[in-house]
Every structure is written in C-alpha cells, then in structure tokens.
Amino acid sequence: MKHTEQIMEKEKKTRKKPGLTTWIFISLLLGICVGSIFHYWVPAGYVRDTIFVNGIFYVLGNGFIRLMQMLVVPLVFCSLVCGSMAMGDSKSLGKVGIKAIVFYLATTALAITLALGVANLINPGIGLDISSFEMTEQTTAAESLSFADTLLNIIPKNPIEAMANGDMLQIIIFALFVGVLLAKRGEKADTVAQFISQFNDLMMDMTMAVMKVAPVGVFCLIAKTFSGIGVDAFGSLLKYMACVMIALLLQCLGVYQILLYLFTRLNPMRFVKKFLPVMGFAFSTATSNATIPMSIETLDQEMGVSRKISSFTIPLGATINMDGTAIMQGVAVVFVAQAFGITLTPSDYLTVIATATIASVGTAGIPSVGLVTLSMVFVSVGLPVEGIGIIMGIDRVLDMARTAVNITGDAVCTTIIASREKALNREVFMKK
C-alpha cells in the first residue's frame, strides 16, 4: 500500500542519533553510583529525601515513564492497524499470530523449567528461618486470576473502555479487526486508512522526541531505586536473588541466543549489543508496556525487522510473554516450599510449569504484577500465599531484571518470525 511505503521511507530518514545509546548507559551507571552514595553516605533528611529522592528523582523519573506510557495506547493501536493492513490478507497475519503465540508459550515453559532446575541445584530456601520475616497485609490481598476470565477478557466489551484502561490484549484484538477489515475494504475506506497511517507517523515522531530525554529519566529512576535499597536489605535473600539472576542470565544470553542463531543464523552477540539500550530502559522502568515504542524502533532501525511484523508481535509479547516473570515464579515456588519445609512432587512441578505459563499470559507489563500472579501459582500447588511476603521486599530489583528478559524474549521471537517471513533486512542488521 502506498501510504505504508511512505511511512517506511519517512521512518528511514528519521534515524536515531548514535549518541543516545551511550548516553542511556552512562546515565544508568551514574544513577547506580549516585543512588548508592545517597543510600550509604548522605544522611537521611529534608535535602536527601524530600528534595532529591522524592522530589527531583521522583518527578523527572516518573515524568519520563508517563511520557512513554502516554504513547503506548495510540501507538499500539495505530501501528497494529497499519501492520495488519499492510499484511493485507488475513492468512499471513494468522500465520504470524500462531507462530508468535507458539513461540511465546514454548519459551515461557522452557524458562520455568530452567528456573526450577537452577533453584533445585542451589536450594535457596533450605536453612532459612522464616520466623524473621514479617508477613505484610499486601500479601493476603493478592488475588488469584481464573483461567476462564483471563481467556474471556481478551474480547473487549467496549473498545473505547479498553483504550482508556490501557488493556493491551483487548486493544490488540480490536486493532487487528480494524486493520484486516480496512485492508478488505480497499479504496472505499482510504480516508480512514490514511488518517490512521498519518496518526501512526505522528506517534513515531513523538516517540523519538520523548527518547531524547531518556538519559535524564533513566538516571533519575535508577538513582531513586538505589538510594532506597542497600546491601543489608538483601541479607539472607541473596541466595534466592542469585538463583533468579542466574536463571535470567541463562535464558537471556543462552536460550534466546541459541534459538536466534538456530532459526536465523544471525550473530547473537550483535543482537545483544544492539538491543542493550532497550534492555537498559526496561531495567530502569520495570515496565514492558512502556518499552514497546523503543523496541519497535530499535528492531526497525538497528536490526532491519519490518514494522509489519514487530507492530503486532511486540505489543502481543509485552502483554502475554513474560519469561523473566515465569523464572522468578519458578524459583519462588522452590524457595518458599523449602522455607516452609514442603516437598514438591514431580506432578507439582508439572503443575507449576503449566500455571506459571498461564500466569505469564495474565501478567500485565507493569511493575510488580508478577508478584500478584504468583499467588495463582502458589495456590495451584498448595503453597501458603503468605510466602510471597518473604520475597516482596527485594522484588523491585528482580522486577527490573526480569522485565529486561521479558522484552528480550519478545524481540528475539519477533526477529525470528521476521526472518522466516522474509521481513528482515540483513544489511541493516549487519551494519556497525
């Protein structure tokens, strides 16, 4: 379609400045340093807490997240409509959709299995005295999601309400309908198609404008987090954290990269290098949803992945594919079972793999939701939900790390699908 080609042309012209990636990393490291200095060396008081941590860092950091979030709903809706319109016939869309869902579910199941393996090797919960941990009210408030409701919730009762609430799966379904039917209508609906394409263009420009202040946002978010936590906060939970981190690293740098190489023959090192800024952004925000615009942009500009594919698979992945979250849940099950002296049977492990995969679909791409859906996994194998209270205190750091893995899984899947659908420009990927 003509207007889609125009969009592609325009996007190519508006390439991101190379300095941004470096700046994001400098601010990430600077944020860790400044945050740690604030935590250990600056005495608590008005200047540290009110002016810096809860003032400047909070306002600028969260202001940046809000700017990104502001783009998510219109961007996902417009780019999905454009993407499904560009794919033209619904058959190829269906093919991409089925491939993406199968890939997402398979990598999640793999991730939990890996997590259960690592946790059983390290045994993080053995010898833990749980009486030293306070149970919080929040723990018992965690709700269990029913599978039937999770399925039904995919269909929006009211698409406007879905957009207002930022309900990604419902928006995805509605946008796909609009895109496919617009393509079928052809010239008869050209005005609507043009409008959505141009609005999509506008959202892309806005994304790039917002990205210019990313280093400031990332610095403030990281500085605030690190000024709030210290090494002593980790204490006896270090082993649990180490398990989650090891499994996350194995998944991110092992499983994904092997899959990428096997399916596409692309250089995994180059992929990781080019995708690092997006991981850094996901790490600092702990929000998959807010990462959607940057992921699509990086995959397009740096890896040569067509937006036709990514505009569909990235929002879908940010909504249903949470491998990092599943890893945390797998390790948490073993940790809490050991801490409470509960022995898990092989069938319990299979139940955990199944329920954590479903929980991953039901986990929204925003901070801490993985902790809420964890209750569903605990209940499935009869673990006390109060166990979540043990790990709650240190979850923020793990949330950051697992979000980076969550979105890397989406990007790897998208690249593999794009390569198989001949929608990957290898020359762009090989550049630099």
Strand pairing partners for 424?
305
By beta-carbon proximity to ligand ASP, the closer residue of 319 and 415 is 319
By beta-carbon proximity to ligand ASP, the closer residue of 7 and 405 is 405
Please calculate the CA angle 245-322-396 and round it to the nearest 5 degrees: 50
* Shortest separation between residue 96's beta carbon and ligand ASP, angstroms: 22
CA 123 to chain CA centroid, nearest Å: 27
Say how far apart CA 172 and CA 169 lie, in whole Å.
5
Backbone angles phi, psi at 424, to 5 degrees: -125, 125
Q: Among residues 289, 277, 200, which one has the least CA distance to residue 16? A: 277
* Shortest separation between residue 304's beta carbon and ligand ASP, angstroms: 25
By beta-carbon proximity to ligand ASP, the closer residue of 183 and 214 is 214
| Helix axis angle, 2-13 to 190-211, nearest 10° | 10
* Shortest separation between residue 162's beta carbon and ligand ASP, angstroms: 19
By beta-carbon proximity to ligand ASP, the closer residue of 170 and 321 is 321
* Shortest separation between residue 46's beta carbon and ligand ASP, angstroms: 32
* Shortest separation between residue 364's beta carbon and ligand ASP, angstroms: 7
By beta-carbon proximity to ligand ASP, the closer residue of 71 and 286 is 286
Say how far apart CA 171 and CA 162 lie, in whole Å.
6
* Shortest separation between residue 395's beta carbon and ligand ASP, angstroms: 8
Q: Which residues bind ligand ASP (CB under 6 A)?
A: 286-288, 322, 325, 363, 365-370, 399, 402-403, 406
Answer for the pair 247, 334: CB distance below 8 angstroms, yes or no.
no
* Shortest separation between residue 363's beta carbon and ligand ASP, angstroms: 5
Q: Among positive and negative, which fits the CA dihedral 424, 417, 318, 401?
A: negative
Looking at beta carbons, which residue is closest to ligand ASP? 370
Q: Among residues 76, 69, 118, 416, which one has the least CA distance to residue 271? A: 416
By beta-carbon proximity to ligand ASP, the closer residue of 183 and 366 is 366
By beta-carbon proximity to ligand ASP, the closer residue of 179 and 370 is 370
Answer for the pair 211, 294: CB distance below 8 angstroms, yes or no.
yes
Q: Among residues 219, 206, 216, which one has the least CA distance to residue 297? A: 206
Structure tokens that stand for 381 in this block:
């194998």
* Shortest separation between residue 92's beta carbon and ligand ASP, angstroms: 28
Q: Is 93 exposed, middle or buried (0-12, 13-18, 19+ CB in 10 A)?
A: buried
By beta-carbon proximity to ligand ASP, the closer residue of 96 and 320 is 320
- Using DSSP, state whether 422 is helix, strand or coil: coil
Structure tokens that stand for 151 in this block:
């399925």
